[in-house]
Structure 1
Amino acid sequence: MSTPLVLPTLVGDAVRLRGFGPADLPLVREATTDPLIPLITSVPAFGDDDACRAYLARQTDRLTSRAGYAFAVAERGTDLAVGHVYLGLRDLDLGRATVGYWIARSQRGRGLAGDALRTLVRWAVTVPGIDRLELYVEPWNVASARTAVSAGFVREGLLRSWQKVGDERKDMDMYSVVSPQV
């Protein structure tokens, strides 16, 4: 059996990326009410507290299964969780990792997603075996595209009908960061 991954704590300008805990239940509850987050993540769509606690447990399980690193995005000063950022390792054998993120609707517009993403990227490009980070954004999501670019991602092109979102196949713009050692 392989060893579980170890989640570091990463500190940005305004955020701290850390593991999820029971105190983060209100964040997950809020995320269940967002029209998009449950469609593109494993946040439950109609989450009662048990479903939200199961979501929190799944984030830790990603380390055990070596699927990736799931971080709570917390305000640096208060440690209040405001979102989630993830580094997926499904394609690590190919030198690639995927990045995803979301910020609770009540916390958007404060630059926290960009700070979290920049903080994650600074660390991720030092992880052995990662030569390339990939991120997918729906073309209409200008704010998310701006966030990706602010973290050093470069748009590479449109992937037609790339991902199922809800019941529909959606186009995605692909963004990437290539590790400096490549």
Structure 2
Amino acid sequence: MIPLSMTEAAAPRLLIIGRVATPIGAAVVAVDEREVLRALFFEEFEERMSRSLRIQYRTLPVETGPVPAPIGRALEAYFGGDGSALKDLHWMTAGTPFQKAVWNALMDIPFGQTLSYGTLAARLGMPKAVRAVGLANGANPISVVVPCHRVVGADGSLTGYGGGLHRKRWLLAHEGVLCADQPSLL
């Protein structure tokens, strides 16, 4: 997954919204005119995505269209079990410098692993900022690709997820992670 800095890409002129089917429900994807991923929400949270895009990009024109083939293929491969499928997607977010730092730190959590909010805060050099890290994590506009689902409670339990805890549970199980609130088969 390749985040682009603001110096690497000009501000978008247009957002294109499309849908892609996943095993956990339709995802609504926003890309700019250069096919840089700007948002990914699940369908029932489309209004939340619209609000997020209005906050981030103000009055930028929005059109509907197909999800670009490279993004669709990468998502299909990820949901098919390829843990590295999303790593080469170009994405960019608008947000505060702190939010961007948290979102970039999420990219360092490998497929099939989790991290607690406290550990993530410590990695950012702000061990007392656990709640702020949690809020930034929850504001992530590119779920699945920027893997906010890999952040769990200190005891390994599932905590909030913008796409619903059932999706977080599914994503972690898909990646081979057994969380504290899931029954063990042993």
Q: Which has the higher strand share?
A: 1
Scaled by the length of structure 2, what TM-score is found? Answer: 0.29
Scaled by the length of structure 1, what TM-score is found? Answer: 0.29
Task: Flag the structure with more relative contact order, 1 or 2, with Cα contacts below 8 A and sequence separation at least 6.
Answer: 2
